[in-house]
Amino acid sequence: MTPRFKILLAVMAVAALALPKLVYPIVAIDVLCFGLFAIGVDLLFGFGGLLSFGQALFWGGSGYLAINVVHHFHGNLALAIVAATGFSLVLGAVAGGICVRRGGIYFAMITLGIAQIGYFLAIQLTNWTGGENGLQIGSRGTFFGFSLENDTAFYFVTLAIVALCVFLVLRVLDSPFGAVLQAIRENESRAIALGYRVNRFKHVLFIMSATLTGLAGALYSLGNHLAGLEMLDWHTSGAAVMMAILGGSATVLGPMLGAALYEGLEYFISKTPFTAGTDLIVGLIFALCVLSFRRGIAGELLARRWRRTST
């Protein structure tokens, strides 16, 4: 951990603690959840070299499951979160087995296709998803006996969970597993020649990414009291990819910053009469980022420590 990283982490931590006071609490919850979603996407992209355009499958799938569990199991929030996360873990294992067979560009299109199957399934299974109307819960339920109806309370529980995830990701990337990932990223054929079962590593990475994304989705739907079809839409996958890259792929904190930027931008524009231009502005910023700003915000801030994935 470089000094710069520690400073960034400290600043972000302070901001995170103050956030519910600065913006509407639900927006703060959204920032955290999308941040974790983007970290999940970036695990695959920045650290595995695999661009997935279908992570919304786990975001939405877990989101729907969480709402269903709260609805059917007397508002047991902890159960909802655990079940939803477990669901994404299993789904990630299955989907990952199919997707990691092809790398690079193909991977993006395959994940997109599989997520679309999920989208169409969700429309059909109206008992579990409410179809195009989505599923709602009146109250969030209780978390180990505590009611998290207060948005700020929910935010801080989410913050704790997200912080734990970030810590775990940092540890994993710093471990031998992370070292092999780096080797694969730098020269896949050499890694294979050295005897590493590259596809296995990619598969495990995919499962990790899916699990984090699922957890994020569960927290998001519980925070917002509903799960809807937009959660499975490929545009949502695209948004998470943009957040990861804008914030800084190949860094762990970057995607969180990217999510804050994206959500902040949307929120800011929503207060003006120019809401029709939201996607246009996002597109323009992202284009600029891809053209000449590929390391993203955190990437630039922390440069000279984290290896760039590509120049």
Partner 1 sequence: MSVDYAAAQLFNGLASGAFYALLALGLSVIFGMLRVINFAHGALFMLGAFATYYGAEAFHVPFYAALIVAPLAVGLFGMAIEVTILRRLRGLDPVYGLLMTFALTLIIVNVVRLMAGPLGSPYSAPDALSGATNLGFTVYPTYRLFVIAVSLAISLLVWWFVERSTLGARVRAATENPVLARAFGVDTNLLITLTFGVGAGIAALAGVLAAPTTNVAPSMGDAIIIYTFAIVVIGGLGSITGSIVAGFALGLLQAIGSVYYPPISTTLIFIVMVLVIIVRPAGLFGKSEEFR
Partner 2 sequence: MRLTSVLSFVCAGAILAGPLSFATPVQAAGAAPIKIAVITDMSGVYSALSGQGAVEATKMAVEDFGGKVLGRPIVVDAVDHRNQAALAASKAREEFDSGADLALDLTNSATAIAVASVAKEKHKLAIVTGAGSTDLTGIDCNKYTYQYAYDTYALAHGTGASVAKAGFKTWYGIVPDYAFGKSMLKDFGDAIAPYGGKFIHADLMPLGTTDFSSYMLAAKNAHPQVLALLNAGADTVNSMKAAKQFGLDKQMKIVVGLLFLSDVDALPDVFAGSRITTSWYWDMDNASRAWANRYAARMHGLRPTDIQAADYSATMQWLDAVKATGTTNADKIVAYLDGRKFNDFYAHHGQWRARDHRVLHDMYVVDVLPKSQVKVPHAWFKVVDTIPADKAFRPASQSVCPKNW
Nearer to partner 2, 159 or 181 (CB): 159
Binding span for partner 2 by CB under 8 A among 23-31, 82-90, 153-161, 192-200? 23-31
- Figure out which of the listed residues 127, 189, 292, 310 binds partner 2, where binding follows CB under 8 A: 292
Q: State which of positions 209-248 bind partner 2 (CB under 8 A).
A: 220, 224-226, 228-230
Number of residues located near partner 1, criterion CB under 8 A: 43
Q: How far apart are CA 51 and CA 48, in angstroms?
A: 8
* CB of 295 vs partner 1, minimal distance in Å: 12
Nearer to partner 2, 22 or 90 (CB): 22
Assess 199 for contact with partner 2 (CB under 8 A). Answer: no
For 171, other C-beta atoms within 10 Å of its C-beta total 11
Assess 104 for contact with partner 1 (CB under 8 A). Answer: yes
The DSSP secondary structure of 197-239, one letter per residue, reads -HHHHHHHHHHHHHHHHHHHHHHHHHHHTEE-GGGGSHHHHHH
* CB of 260 vs partner 2, minimal distance in Å: 5
Q: To which residue do tokens 């983007």 refer?
A: 38
| H-run or E-run covering 12 | helix 3-22
Q: How far apart are CA 263 and CA 143, in angstroms?
A: 27
Q: CA 142: distance to chain centroid?
A: 24
Please choose which of partner 2, partner 1, none residue 286 contacts, taking the beta carbon within 5 to 8 angstroms, the exact cut-off set by kind.
partner 1
CA angle 271, 259, 174 (to 5 degrees): 165
- Figure out which of the listed residues 6, 97, 109, 124 binds partner 2, where binding follows CB under 8 A: 124
Nearer to partner 1, 193 or 276 (CB): 276
Nearer to partner 2, 175 or 275 (CB): 275
Phi, psi of 165 (to 5 degrees): -60, -45
Please choose which of partner 1, partner 2, none residue 105 contacts, taking the beta carbon within 5 to 8 angstroms, the exact cut-off set by kind.
partner 1
Q: How far apart are CA 37 and CA 265, in angstroms?
A: 18
Assess 152 for contact with partner 2 (CB under 8 A). Answer: no
Give the 3-state secondary structure of residue 161: helix
Contact by Cβ (8 Å): 7, 14: no
Assess 124 for contact with partner 1 (CB under 8 A). Answer: yes
Contact by Cβ (8 Å): 37, 240: yes
Q: To which residue do tokens 């939201």 refer?
A: 278
Assess 270 for contact with partner 2 (CB under 8 A). Answer: yes
* CB of 184 vs partner 1, minimal distance in Å: 12
Contact by Cβ (8 Å): 158, 33: yes
Q: Which residues contact partner 2 (rule: CB under 8 A)?
A: 8, 11-12, 15, 19, 21-24, 26-27, 30, 119-120, 123-124, 126, 130-134, 136, 138, 220, 224-226, 228-230, 257, 260-261, 264, 267-268, 270-271, 273, 275-276, 278, 292-293, 295-301, 303
